[in-house]
Amino acid sequence: MGAVLNLDKKDGVFTITINRPERRNALNEAVATGIMEALDQAEKDPTIRAVVLTGSGSKAFCAGGDLQPNAEGTPFAIEAHDPQHYVPKLFQKMEACRLPLIAKVNGHALAGGFGIVCGCDLVVARDDALIGVTEVKVGLFPMMILPFLLRVTPTRILMEMCLTGEPLTAGDAINHHLINYAVPADELDSKMDWLLKRITVNSPTGIRLGKQALAKIREMNFETALEYAPFMLANMARTKDAIEGFSAFSEKRRPEWTGR
């Protein structure tokens, strides 16, 4: 069996590709662990400005948990000696990632695969890709991915998806703000490149600290958030990137970011 992930680094973008096309890039423990390790690798590299998650082939981004009888590392069991399941660990790692995390949905993203999409910051998808939660069709409910689903999916749409198990096309999902862009398959790469260029020209320090603050503010009550935000803004204004940004604005030139 070959590597379950392919990793690539180019022009400040770290691309993680799930490489199980024969299983429709289904999620198992090896895939989850590999993604977590790859995210750590990306965050330690000062040249990386964004991370892209995608799947190999053209059929599936990720079809969710592996349902095959001979599946390795199935997500549908918990070991009594180690109840810390790898799917929540993966989502915690994605939530903590301070780099922009972008899903490139090259094919269907179902069940846990849709959970991974919801855990990303931005989503670019093929307009004919199916996205949704199909667990009810096999007697389950999308328990592990509900925290991310609740964050990005309107309540009525979420309930319809969960209760019917019927997916949406990415073209329809954009009307519910579940993704950012839905494009024809032959435009997926160019749209992704366009979005990445708009992100990677900006301050890496501003993005890292901003994502970190956003994750904390999301869990705070309103009054606590209002106390925390000015503190973070003042700290960010003292970074080398912010000082450079102010200077570049005054001098009407492009900033030269150091990531510090």
Q: Mean per-residue pLDDT for 84-93?
A: 90
For residue 136, pLDDT over 60 is answered with yes
DSSP class of residue 259 equals: -
Q: Which of the pair, 74 or 115, is modelled with greater confidence?
A: 115
Looking at every residue in the chain, the average pLDDT score rounds to 92
- Which stretch of DSSP H or E encloses residue 99? none
Q: Model confidence over 147-198: pLDDT tens digits?
A: 999 999 999 999 999 999 999 999 999 999 999 999 999 999 999 999 999 9
* CA atoms within 13 Å, Cβ hemisphere of 4: 19
Residue 12, both tokens = 């400040």
Residue 46, both tokens = 């000062």
Q: Model confidence over 23-55: pLDDT tens digits?
A: 999 999 999 999 999 999 999 999 999 999 999
- Alpha carbon distance 164, 121 (integer Å): 26
Q: Mean per-residue pLDDT for 228-242?
A: 96
Provide the whole-model pTM: 0.92
- Alpha carbon distance 118, 112 (integer Å): 10
Instruction: Decide if 53 contacts 8 (C-beta within 8 A).
Output: no
Percentage of the chain exceeding pLDDT 70: 93
Report the b/e string of 123-136 with b at 16+ CB within 10 A.
Answer: bbbbbebbbbbbbe
Q: Mean per-residue pLDDT for 75-92?
A: 73
The whole-number pLDDT of residue 75 equals 59
Q: Which is it for strands 122-126 and 101-105: parallel, antiparallel or unpaired?
A: parallel
Percentage of the chain exceeding pLDDT 90: 88
- Number of helices (H), then strands (E), belonging to the chain: the values are 10, 10
Interior angle at CA 86, CA 102 and CA 169, nearest 5: 40
Name 207's Cβ contacts closer than 8 Å, sequence gap at least 6.
49, 98, 99, 100, 199
Interior angle at CA 19, CA 17 and CA 20, nearest 5: 145
For residue 15, pLDDT over 50 is answered with yes
Q: Mean per-residue pLDDT for 213-241?
A: 95
Query: To the nearest 10°, the Cα dihedral for 218, 222, 227, 229?
Result: 40
Catalytic residues: 135
Using only the alpha carbons of the chain, give its radius of gyration: 19
Ordered domains of the chain (ranges, CATH):
5-200 (3.90.226.10), 204-251 (1.10.12)
Interior angle at CA 64, CA 115 and CA 151, nearest 5: 10
